[in-house]
C-alpha cells in the first residue's frame, strides 16, 4: 500500500503515546504560563515522527513582550506540542482562541505539494469521528495505523496555519492525507513579526472542512501546536500564546 509511508504515519500518529487527561475540566487547556521551567507544563508534551527518523521541532517557554509564550523553532524538523483532552461530546459554538507571531517564515513552503508541505506555525484540533463516516480506504488505513501504534488515533484533524503565501480562509487538504484539512488563519506577509489574535468557530470550520462526511461536530481528542520544516529542509521561528478552547 503506497500510501503507508513515514510521513502519513507521522500525521496519523500525531498522538502517538496518547493518554487521555481524564482529570481535565471540560475543554480547559493548561496555560503555558503555568510552567516554572522552559518546558510547557503537563499535560502538554512533544510528539514527533515514530522512530525518531526526523529531528524534533524545538518547543520552549520563553518571556516575550512581558509574558510567557511558546517558542516554536523548526529546522529541517517535525514536531507537535500536544494537549490531550477527555473524550466527550462537544457542543455547538465551541471556539478556539489564541495569539501568535511569526518572525521567520519557511522559504519554499507550498502546502499544495508534498515537497513543500511545511508550516512554520499551526494550531490543530483532533477529532474522534466515527469510522463508519469514512470511506473504505481511509477506514482501513486508520484501522491499520491504530493497530500499529496501539493507540486510538484521530480520524479527522483540522489545522489552522500561518502561511504568508496563501490568502486567509484558504481551505485545502494536507498533501499526504485528506484526514487532515487545513485552513489558513493568517496569511499576510505584512503581519510578520507582529502578534495576531485569532478566534475560530470550531464547529463552523469543521463543517466547512468535513461537512460532506459528518453533519455534527465529533468529540475533540486533543489540541496541538506545531511547526515543521522537514520537507523543504528550511527553518522557521514563531511564537504562540493564550491558547484557549471555550464552549
Note whether residue 115 is domain-resident.
Answer: yes
pLDDT tens-digit readout, 143-179: 877 777 666 788 899 999 999 999 999 999 999 988 8
Q: Give the residues across from 184 on adjacent strands.
A: 161
C-beta neighbour count of 103 within 10 angstroms: 14
pLDDT at 21: 35
Specify the CATH number for the domain of residue 237: 2.60.120
Q: What is the pLDDT of residues 179-195, one digit of tens each?
A: 899 999 998 888 999 99
Residue 1 lies in a domain: no
Residue 216 included in any domain: yes
Quote the number of domains for the chain. Answer: 1
Question: Is position 136 within any domain?
Answer: yes
| Chain-centre distance for alpha carbon 219 | 16
Cis peptide bond upstream of 175, omega within 30: no
CB burial of 137-161 (b: ≥16 within 10 Å; e: otherwise) equals ebeebbeebbeebebebbbbbbbbb
CA atoms of 192 and 134, how far apart (whole Å): 38
Task: Specify if 161 maps to a domain.
Answer: yes
Q: Tell me what pLDDT residue 10 has.
A: 53
Please write the tens of the pLDDT for every residue from 203-241.
Answer: 999 999 999 988 889 989 999 999 999 999 999 999 999
User: Tens of pLDDT along 22-51?
Assistant: 333 457 899 999 999 999 999 999 999 878
Overall average pLDDT of the 110-116 stretch: 96
Q: Is the pTM of this model over 0.85?
A: yes
SS3 6: helix
* Grid cell of 228 as nine digits: 515543521
Containing structural domain, residue 67? 6-246
Q: Considering the domain boundaries, does residue 86 fall inside one? A: yes
Q: Is residue 39 part of a domain?
A: yes
Amino acid at each position: 500500500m503506497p500510501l503507508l509511508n513515514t510521513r502519513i504515519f507521522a500525521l496519523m500518529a500525531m498522538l502517538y503515546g496518547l493518554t487521555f487527561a481524564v482529570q481535565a475540566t471540560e475543554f480547559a487547556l493548561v496555560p503555558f504560563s503555568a510552567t516554572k521551567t522552559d518546558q510547557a507544563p503537563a499535560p502538554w508534551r512533544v510528539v514527533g515522527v515514530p522512530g525518531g527518523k526526523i529531528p524534533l521541532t524545538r518547543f520552549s517557554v520563553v518571556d516575550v513582550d512581558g509574558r510567557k509564550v511558546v517558542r516554536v523553532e523548526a529546522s529541517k524538523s517535525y514536531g507537535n506540542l500536544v494537549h490531550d483532552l477527555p473524550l466527550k461530546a462537544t457542543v455547538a459554538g465551541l471556539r478556539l482562541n489564541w495569539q501568535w507571531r511569526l518572525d521567520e517564515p519557511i522559504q519554499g513552503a507550498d502546502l499544495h505539494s508534498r515537497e513543500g508541505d511545511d508550516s512554520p506555525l499551526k494550531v490543530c484540533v483532533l477529532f474522534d469521528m466515527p469510522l463508519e463516516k469514512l470511506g473504505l480506504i481511509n477506514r482501513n488505513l486508520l484501522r491499520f495505523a491504530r493497530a500499529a501504534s496501539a493507540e486510538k488515533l484521530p480520524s479527522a484533524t483540522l489545522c489552522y496555519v500561518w502561511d504568508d503565501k496563501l490568502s486567509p480562509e484558504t481551505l485545502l487538504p494536507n498533501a499526504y492525507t485528506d484526514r487532515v484539512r487545513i485552513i489558513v488563519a493568517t496569511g499576510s506577509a505584512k503581519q510578520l513579526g507582529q502578534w495576531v489574535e485569532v478566534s475560530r468557530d470550531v464547529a463552523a470550520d469543521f463543517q466547512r472542512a468535513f461537512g460532506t462526511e459528518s453533519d455534527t461536530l465529533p468529540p475533540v481528542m486533543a489540541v496541538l501546536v506545531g511547526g515543521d520544516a522537514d520537507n523543504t529542509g528550511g527553518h522557521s521561528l514563531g511564537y504562540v500564546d493564550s491558547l484557549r478552547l471555550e464552549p
